[in-house]
A and B are shown apart, each in its own frame.
Chain A
């Protein structure tokens, strides 16, 4: 085996690692300054504002093209979500009713292991 201190591949890997650490450390110092926050948030604010204006323009375009607006699609999605929720509730109620009437709920419910496990140190067994 070649000595790691003179192995060019190991040296390259070490150099990449050191460069990563050094750059991260340098960038972290720069990013901790209030000036950095100011610049980044100014740019982010402009982007968010532009996104909002573009969204409003698209709404107008969709109305002109006689296509459903975002609100209408969202309204449909909300109704679907409410229906999903109601189906879930009905399913849950049916499961509870089945459980209380002693009707089997399939292999999963029937095959649940007993809740009797003790930690190894208490019973002296191995987990």
Chain B
């Protein structure tokens, strides 16, 4: 019998030796994996400027001798923890901003307590964000504030900006922010108003449990968790791979519950009635049309985003009233756009070059 074309018999012993070594390493590292806790995340030095229930406002300690005049407030998505933007030194978006001379604050969320089930969209848009902006102004001594919103943090920032049209937001940056909720097709189907009784759910459970949020994310790619565990085993000899896997896996499974009334509003106003896209959104009786936003705006979207597909995000630039606006599409997915090796070389430098000249 002839050997298949391209098969290198001379290389086989070397390959077998390499695989045996990796198998031994897997056994050793596999034990290590279960006996250690993984890298410490979110360790960039910071002070808690304010904390109230589910909301925390951090101020990161500057890492530059000279900083831009305009401080930056990062608004995290309410479903997840903010440390995705502050993983480990060298892979921390926050650290990157600090080293590039920005004065950085973050509005982060913790799990809403049972008594916070009554928090509404109004509490987030008309209370939490304005409260944090005021505190950033007081702490920094500056009137202007740039806002960066990630995923649903971007939606909240847009709603805030569309209502507070006379400032003090100076620039707005949105990462992977959905506008047209019909285009989040699987989420739209999961929450089909004919079958999904959101009132019954919220009235029964209060805050929507994190397991439900996590399941809905994982259902978008149901085979990926099993496949990633196979990949982990294949690569468990590789310390860098394991470190990265642990960081992202820990963050992805560290999902937050959502306040019941807030979830009810998201389902009815955004998922069912698509009010943000249809220009009929209001919060606390105040109209929140995207055309009201006039500040410079950058929208970064990911080419392979399975959570917020491009069709759900692409209308933002057309809908805002800003003259100075830009959309940038970068390679990566919903998370790798903002964190990890992909973000270090793509999004972060782009954001720095855009924001730096608008921060003086």
Contacts and interface: CB of A to CB of B under 8 A. Distances in A.
Interface of A: 1-3, 5-7, 9, 13, 16-17, 19-20, 23-24, 27-28, 31-34, 36-38, 40-42, 44-45, 48-49, 51-52, 70, 74, 77-78, 81, 84-85, 88, 92, 96, 108, 112-122, 127
Given A16-B231, A24-B221, A24-B223, A37 B190 contact: yes
B95 interface: no
Nearest to A6: B7
Contacts of B8: 1-3, 6
Interface in B51-66: 51-53, 61-62, 64-66
Given A49-B200, A51-B204, A121-B357, A115 B115 contact: no
B6 interface: yes
B249 interface: no
Contacts, number: 152
Contacts of B114: 70, 74, 77
A122 B68 CA distance: 13
Nearest to B197: A45
11 contacts: A2-B12, A20-B227, A23-B223, A31-B186, A34-B192, A44-B212, A51-B204, A74-B115, A84-B52, A92-B135, A127-B101
A115 B142 contact: yes
Given A16-B231, A81-B53, A127-B352, A51 B205 contact: yes
Contacts of B27: none
Given A108-B61, A115-B103, A119-B356, A85 B52 contact: yes
A49 B199 CA distance: 12
A48 B189 contact: no
B348 to A, nearest CB: 12
A108 B195 contact: no
A20 B226 CA distance: 9
